[in-house]
Structure 1
C-alpha cells in the first residue's frame, strides 16, 4: 500500500472489498497498483457525504443502494475524444457503408459500447449522416451505452467545450454543431437532427443487454482492457450473437482478441469481422 500521507486510512482489507465489489458488479479488474487511484477517487465521496473514513463509507454503501451508482461512476475511467483512432471512422465510411448500400437494406444499426462522454458516438453519427446523405430512406440508429450514469447524462446533452472539438474539421463543426452564446459562450451543442438518431442508455456489460440485433457493427474500444480474459471471451461471444453475418467489431489500439475467440478475423488495424 502507498506510504503517502493521507486524510483517511485506506487499509488493504478495505481496498480488497472495493476491488471485489467492483468486479462482482461489472467485471472490471482493479489491480493492486490501482490502489492509490481507488483512494483518490473514492475519498471525494467520503468528503461529500461528510463521513469520518472509509469504514464508514463502506458501511454507508452497503446500507444505501442509491450510492452504488456513485461508487461505480467514481471508479470507471472515461478517456475519449472526437474521431479518436480516425481510421475506424474511415473504415465505416469507405467499407461498411458501401456494403450496406449494396445489400439493398434500408436499416442500419450499430452499438457504441462504453460510449463515455459521447464523442465516439457523435463521431459515428456524423460519419453515418454524411455517408447516407443521399439516401433519405435509410433508417440508421446508434445505441450508445455506458455503465457510468454521469458521463451518459453529459453525452446525452450533446454539449461540449469548444476546445474538445479540435479534431473536428471546420466543415463538420459548422454543419453539426450549434455555437453557444451568453452564459453558454465557449460551448457548442450537437444539432437535434443528429442527436435524434442516437439512443443513450445505461448498460452494465455483465448484465442483460437491452439491445436488439442484428447489428451492422459494434464499437467496443478500450473497454475490454478492464476485464479478465474469461470475461473478455464471454463478452465477445455475446457480441458475435448480436452481429449480422460478416458484420464488424472495432476495438481499442492496445487490445487484441486473437487468443480469445475464433468467431472473428482481423481485417484491419484493430478491426475484426465476424466469421461464425
Structure 2
C-alpha cells in the first residue's frame, strides 16, 4: 500500500498542469515516476494525500510551482554524451565558422536543456582551443529546472561525474579537491557560458541568432504539435546554414523542409529557409 493516495483525477490534474506549463506529456506509463517524485513534496508539506497537495499547489503557486516542475522534469546527462556530435562540431562546424565568420569573429551556441551543466562545459572544452583569443565565442545554457541550473552554474562534480574524461582534460579545466572527491570547473572555462532559466514554450528573450543549437533529450517529452512548433522556432533562431542537434532517441519529420537531415540526429538549416 502506498504512503499517499493519488487518485486518477489527481494524476490527470497533475498531467494537465505540467503540459500547460512546459509541454511535457505525462502518459499513464509515467504514473509511478510522478508518484515517487511528488511524494517527497507531499511529505515535506506534511499533507495527507495528493489531493491536498494539489490544493496547496493551487493556493501557493508563487512558492511551490517551481519545486513542482523541478520534481517532475528528468535530468540525466554526462560529459561528452553522444560523442559523435562533438566530433562533428570539431571537424566540420568549427572549420566552416572559421571561414564564414572570419570578419565578424563571432560564434554563438545554445545548449537548450543544459541540465546540470555537463553539455555546455563539454561544448566549451571543445571550442576553447579551436578559436583564436580574438574571437567572441559565447555559449548560452538554459533549463527549466532551477535546481539543476544552480548546480550547473556552480560547476562542481563528483569523481564519478568526470569518470571517463582524459587526465589532460581534468588537469586543464578542473580544480581537484584535496580529498579527490570533487572537481570544480576552472573560471577560465565558464567565463563565456551564460546560464539562464528558460521555459522553451514561452517567449525567448534572445535577440541574436545562433550557429548551433543543442536540444538533446528534451523534445522526447513533447507531443507532435509542440515539437513542430519548437522546430520552427529553432529554425528562426539559427543563422543561415546553422545546425540543430537532437538526442539519440529523437527525430524530426520530413515535413520540416527548413532543415536538412545529416544523419545521427544532426540537422542543418536550409540556406534562406522560409519559416513562420
| Shared fold (TM-score, shorter chain, > 0.5) | yes
> Matched residue pairs, number?
268
Q: Structure 2 unaligned runs (5+)?
A: none
2:21 is the counterpart of 1:22:
no
Aligned residue runs from structure 1 range 187-198, under 5 A: 187-198=182-193
C-alpha distance 239-177 of structure 1, shift in aligned 2 (>3 A): same
Match of 1:161 among 158, 162, 165: 158
2:232 is the counterpart of 1:232:
no
Q: Secondary structure at the match of 1:245?
A: strand
2:80 aligns with 83
Match of 2:91 among 85, 89, 94: 94
2:112 is the counterpart of 1:110:
no
CA distance in 1, matches of 2:256, 2:2: 44
Kindly indicate whether the alpha-carbon contact (under 8 Å) linking 1:233 and 1:260 is maintained by their aligned counterparts in 2.
Answer: no
CA distance in 1, matches of 2:82, 2:59: 42
Aligned residue runs from structure 1 range 171-210, under 5 A: 171-181=168-178, 185-210=180-205
Q: Secondary structure at the match of 1:127?
A: helix
1:123 aligns with 122
1:248 aligns with 243
Deviation track 1:129-160 (CA, whole Å, cap 9, x = no partner) reads 0212xx11011111100000000000000000
Deviation track 1:18-75 (CA, whole Å, cap 9, x = no partner) reads 0000000100000111111111100000111111211111011001122000000000
2:256 is the counterpart of 1:257:
no
2:71 is the counterpart of 1:74:
yes
Kindly indicate whether the alpha-carbon contact (under 8 Å) linking 1:232 and 1:260 is maintained by their aligned counterparts in 2.
Answer: no
Give the 4+ runs in structure 1 shifted more than 4 A.
Answer: none
Superposed CA RMSD = 1.0
Q: Secondary structure at the match of 1:164?
A: coil
2:266 aligns with 271
2:55 aligns with 59
1:46 aligns with 42
Q: Secondary structure at the match of 1:142?
A: strand
CA distance in 2, matches of 1:211, 1:144: 12
2:220 is the counterpart of 1:221:
no
Q: Secondary structure at the match of 2:88?
A: helix
* TM-score (norm: length of structure 1): 0.95
CA distance in 1, matches of 2:224, 2:256: 10
Q: Secondary structure at the match of 1:90?
A: helix
Shift of 1:268: 3.4
CA distance in 1, matches of 2:17, 2:45: 20
Q: Structure 1 unaligned runs (5+)?
A: none
C-alpha distance 70-260 of structure 1, shift in aligned 2 (>3 A): farther
